[in-house]
Each structure stands twice: as structure tokens, then as C-alpha cells.
Amino acid sequence: MNTKRNALMIIVLLGAVGTFAAGPRPVLPDDPFPQEYHEAYPIQPGGPGDDVRAIAVDKTNRVWAATQGGVYGLSQKAWKPVDGFSPGPAYALYGDESGIVWAGAWDGLYRIENGRAVHVPEVTDTVSAVHGKDGILIALGPDGAWECVDARWQGIPRRWSGNIRDVLVENRATFWIATGMGLYRQDPTGLRLYCRDEELYSSEVNALAFDSSGRLWVGELGGIDIIENGVRIDTLTAEDGLPYYDVRALAYAPGGRMWIGTGLGAARYQDGNWSLRHSRRWLLSDEVRDITFDSEGTAWITTAAGVSAIKNQKMTLQDKAEHYLDICLKRHVREPGFVEKCFFPNPADQSVFVPRDDDNDGSYTSFYLVMECFRYAVTNDPQAKANADQAFAALELLQTITGTAGFVARTIIPADWTEMADPNQTYTPQERVESRVRNPRFKPVEQRWRLSSDKQWLWKGDTSSDEITGHMFGYLFYYDLAADDAHKARVRNLVSRIMDYIIEGGYVLRDIDGQPTRWGVWSPEKLNHDPDWRVEAPINSFEILSYLKAAYHITGNTRYQGEYMNLIEKHGYADNVRRPKNYERAQRTHIDDELLMFAAPALLLYEDDPRLLSIYKEAFTWAYRTVENDQNPFFNFMYGFLGGENFHLEESIQFLRDQPLDLVQWRVDNSTREDVRLIRFPMLEPLQLDRMLPPSERGIMRWDKNPWEAVSGDFSDEQGRLESSGVFWLMPYWMGRYLGYISAP
């Protein structure tokens, strides 16, 4: 750790907000934890082999799958059809204690040994369920039933429904049968049917499993019953936390967790706690048919689109940070140094990717810049400084490329790109009027992209206040934590150009046309006196005060402190920020939440006037309390960094651990879950949930998005093609390390 840099920031922090904090700063150890991840094993993409019905693992840990197209064995991550079967569908698999795998198929029962199937001649009809224990095997189908005792097969009378879903042998004398007409128990006393309401929650029974206590779990359409000594002792439904009503499979895992296959993924239950693995992030299809486990604890799950394996490995948070950083540097830093998402032309081949531009490339490159500043401050890694220097140079180029005194472009792309976000467009007079009727502040920008003077780049104008806020956030931490003397001089020069340009423009960001950009407005005339800017007045006032305070800290130029005091004393900007964002219904956005976190450090770290500092503390605390239940480690750590108490450290660590390794922006739809309630709240993302789900059950997101939304992730039809850079995770991790909230491993 660079002691000098950290000592400087700690002195500033304690001097500025020491009265805001109380007691020692907490720290949590970076202990290893089990990190789950998904591996996909499609069999015949789009073919009958991907319609998988059952799964089994033999004593050698080899995996077998029963499909509409027959039985397949997995060998070195490739599926191979098993020889010896008659062409047609297979329905059931069971691996016995001796290592034999039994397969129920359309034309009977097969025994798989040494990789080849042999038909059992005594079983003459379709077998759709098979199970055994203690030397006994039961095979059932719609038209027959068979029993194998001590290696001898014989037919047995079928006195239960032929609508067979599952069979489970309890001992040599007792077995249970799940059918679409109820649950049957066959024992020495005879056959008993469970179907009445006082016996079962639902008589459409699909799956059976024993837990470690010998209790029978019965999966049904609608819920789960638990039976002990032949009597139901408990029922689990949506009211008890079951995420989805349609239970199709049950499997008890080593370690005490029951896995429940449903029509909406694989739910897990243990000690009253539920979790769900669904969406393409975790499964090839949410329609789960069967689940089993190998000796390493991997869950092998059959779905309507192939086999998925949910594995786990021991990791520390630092291991995870290295994983994400590797992805970021390989696929997400594009010339001349911007950091954003990338696009996979073929989702199955992540070695081929295409960079993507975004309106907020500057802001999110700045976020990456701050992350690398924290990493450099903690590790003194020269590569972290080199990455930070490159990111700053990219931000610097966003200003110089415009050829203006201080205007900043949104983003830059190579001149030969033919596809970009928001290409140039023209507006008819009617379209201009239509847009202004909907929004009087609408500014028609037809030429969004311009060619640089050296003909190498296209740069994008109409830059927003969001971008400037992100830039200033990056300049501040780069200047304090990572910039050497030469780079400090460049930061001072760049910040001066941008701030002078904004001030001399009347506190607006003038585009290349000399007019304010659509969103780049901080002037008193607009924020204090124009009704159409009422909603933005608090956050934009907070932003401009932050810019000026940061500029004064970085440059030492008293002009910026003078302008800062002028906005406060003559225009009431300190009063504007007492509630620094609009929280009215239909006006709140999570974009403002993130912008406040970007803008707050300059005001809370570098203001030394007790009256103003008290206002900023009050404002920032109020704003944080509106988001403290969002499970957002960046917001939480920033609040703690700036002196706040009760900033949910343990929840933040849990978020960092639970976030999946897969950064693909899969769409995750939680709107049909039954363990949450939908809320339609009037704001930018109106369809929300009544409780916060863990990150492993939500889509990948950035911190300007709503974590409560019911459907998250990528909303395009091209699922699996967009990948996040991972900086949303890396930033709070390294911030937490820098602040001492997270220890080294």
C-alpha cells in the first residue's frame, strides 16, 4: 500500500468529516467462500437430444442423460450416444450401488455397462420410472410394472394409475409411486393412495426424494408435502417461499440442501431459506426435468434445452477481482482507452468479440479510472497506474478532440465504424414539433457524430451533465491517488479548461453549435426560475458545487472558490441541495442516486466551512437513507468513506460474494415468481418487486439502474451477446480494500 497517498486521504477524511463518523472503522476478513458457476452441456442444439428427461451419475462420476433422441454419455465434455438402444425416446435413469446405470425407454428397460446398453428381456413395455435400493429395483411404465430382487426380474401387478411420474424405493418391502392421479405407497400391508386434501396439497404428483432424516418430500403441482412415518407433517407453497408452483423434480444434495426443479428454474431450500437458479445465466432452459449430483457436489440438471451443471469452487474476493479484471482487460478496454461492454457475434464463442460504444463511455471509463486508482493505492501495482494513466488520457482526449476551449465529447469511436449507438439522423418539422410537445426541453441534434481533425476518430456531442459529473469524479481521485507530477499538471490544465468553459458559458455546457446541450445545464436562470428544470434543480445544484470545489482543490485557483460562494450566497444553491435529488413519484430515477455518489466526495472531503459542511452531511445522509436497502456496495462504501455510520458492510460483502462470475447480461425475468409481489411504482422502471433479491437472482446491472425491477438485464432479442466489463463490482471491491473494510486474503 502507498502509505503517503493513503495517509493524505485519511487526514483529509478525518479533518473534513470527523464529526460525521464515530468509533473504529469495521473490517471483514476475506475468507474463502464457495462460488457457484454454470457450465452448459447442450447435447444436440435444437435437436431431439436437447429434450432431456432424466439424468444419472455412475460410480465413476460419469454423467448420463435420457433424451427424446435416446441415451447419451458425457465423456471429456462431449456427449456420445450410447450404443445398443433401439432408436426412440428414453425417459428414466438410475445408477445403482454396483455401478450399473438402468435406463427406461420407449421399448423397455436397458442396463448400461462398459458404455453399452443391453436390453432386459423380461421388461417388455415402456419404462418411464426406475429406482432401487438394497438389492431391489422397481421399473414402472404406463402399461406395466416390474421388480428385480437379487438380480431376477419379474412382472408385478399394476394397481396404481398408469400416469407414472416417479418411483422411489424406501426399502426392500416399500416403495412410493408419484402419478398424475395421486401418491401411492406399496408396502407389506398393501397399497395406499394419498390424494385427499388432508393428505396432499395437490394430487398431481411429479417427484419424490428422501432427505437425510428419512422424510419423504413430495413435489406436486402447487407445492411440496413432507411425509414422515406415512403422515404429512408439513407443506411448502409460495406462501412459505417456494418461488414457483410447478414442482417437477426433487433431489437431496450432500450438505443438507433440497433442490427443487420447477418450471421456472431450480429452487433450493435449507433451514427455512430459499434461493433460485434460473435464467440462461444458470440454466439452458428454465424448464427443469431432473436433478442429480456427482461426488464433487456438482448439480447436474436436465432441462428442455440440454444439460446444465452448477458447480462451485472456493474463492476469495481477491480471486474474484482477478477473474473480473482479466475479463475487463481482455475484452472491454477499447482504443484509445475507453471501458464499456462488448458484443459476441456468436454467444457460444467468447473468443470473438466486438467493442460497443455507449452514450456514457466517458463517465464509465472514469469509474474504471477510479477503480484502478484505488487498486494502485492498495497494491502499488505499476500496471494499475498504467491502466489509470491510459484511462485518464482517453478522458483528456474527449476534450481535446472537439477543438474547443473546453467542450467534452460523450465518446469516441474509430472513424471506420459503421455501426454505433444513436447514429446521425434528420428531423422533419413535424417531428421537431412532436418532440417538443412531449418535452419542451427537447433539442434536435441531427449531427451527433463528427470526424476528428486527424480523420482517425468520430466523436459524439450533446454531452450530458451526467458525463461531466463522472469526469470530475475521476479527475479528483486520479489526482489524489495515482497521478505523478506530470499527470497532475495535465489534470489541472484539463479541469481548468472544462470549468472555465462552463463558467464562461453561463453555467451551461455549450455544444459545438454554441448552444447548451440538452442536459448540460447548471445555471441559476434555469434551475431556480424555469419550471421545466424544477426536477433537476437539486441534483444539478449539487453537481456544479461539487465541480467547483473539486476544481479549487485540484488547481488551487481561487476563481473556482469565488464562483462556488457566488452560487451559494447569491443564488441559494446550498438551500437547493438540502434534499439533493427529486424524490417525487414519477420523478425519481436511480441515475441521480449514482450521480450523487460521484459528486459527494468533493463537497464532503474538501469543504471546511462548518455551516456548509453541516448542510452537505444532512443532504448526503438523507439521500443515502433512500437507497440504503438497495444492497449496493458502491453506495454503502461511499457513505462509510464520507463518514456515515451503519453503512451495511456485511450486506455489501455478501453482494460481492454472491455476484455470479458470468458477466453476460442475460435477461432475468422475476415477474412470474410467486415468492415476490409485483409493485407498479411510477418511475423510470415502473414494474418492481416488493423485496430485494440477491444479485445471483437478478440481471447484471450498473449502479444507475433500479435493482428492484422485476425484469432486468439485456432486453434485446439477442440473448447472450452482451457482456459487462465487471467494473461495477471491481470498483466497490477495491474501494473497500482501500478503506480497510475488506482485508487482504
Element (H, E) at 4: helix 3-17
In whole angstroms, give the CA distance from residue 182 to residue 184: 7
**Which of 90-103 are b and which e, b meaning 16 or more Cβ less than 10 Å from the residue's Cβ?**
bbbbbbbeeebbbb
Beta strands 411-414 and 457-460, pairing class:
antiparallel
Quote the mean pLDDT of the chain.
94
Distance CA(91)–CA(126), nearest Å, equals 9
Q: Rounded to whole angstroms, how far apart are CA atoms 629 and 560? A: 36
**Rounded percentage of the chain residues whose pLDDT exceeds 90:** 91
Percent of the chain with pLDDT over 70: 97
Break the chain into its structural domains and give their ranges: 1-32+316-353+630-745, 34-315, 357-506, 522-627
Average pLDDT over residues 359-370: 97
Domain 34-315 sits in which CATH superfamily?
YVTN repeat-like/Quinoprotein amine dehydrogenase (2.130.10.10)
The confidence band for 1, taking pLDDT boundaries of 50, 70 and 90, is very low
Residue from 238, 272, 240, 277 nearest 261 by CA: 277
> Residues 555, 539: contact at Cβ < 8 Å?
no
188 closest CA partner among 204, 172, 202 = 172
Distance CA 571, CA 575 (A): 9
Residue-level pLDDT at 255: 86
pTM passes above 0.85: yes
CB 677 within 8 A of CB 689: yes
Count how many Cα atoms sit within 13 Å of the Cα of residue 22 in the half-sphere of its side chain: 2
Asked whether residue 14 carries a pLDDT value surpassing 60, the answer given is: no
Question: 8, 26, 20: which is closest to 643 by C-alpha?
Answer: 20
Task: Kindly indicate the confidence band of residue 26, based on its pLDDT and cuts at 50, 70 and 90.
Answer: confident
pLDDT digits (tens, 9 = 90+) for 367-410: 999 999 999 999 999 999 999 999 999 999 999 999 999 999 99
* Average pLDDT rounded to a whole number, residues 479-492: 98
Cβ–Cβ < 8 Å for 606, 16: yes
Residue 24: per-residue pLDDT: 61
C-alpha span between 473 and 680 (Å, rounded): 34
What span, in angstroms and rounded, lies between the C-alpha atoms of 662 and 380? 28
Confidence bin at 684 (pLDDT 50/70/90): confident
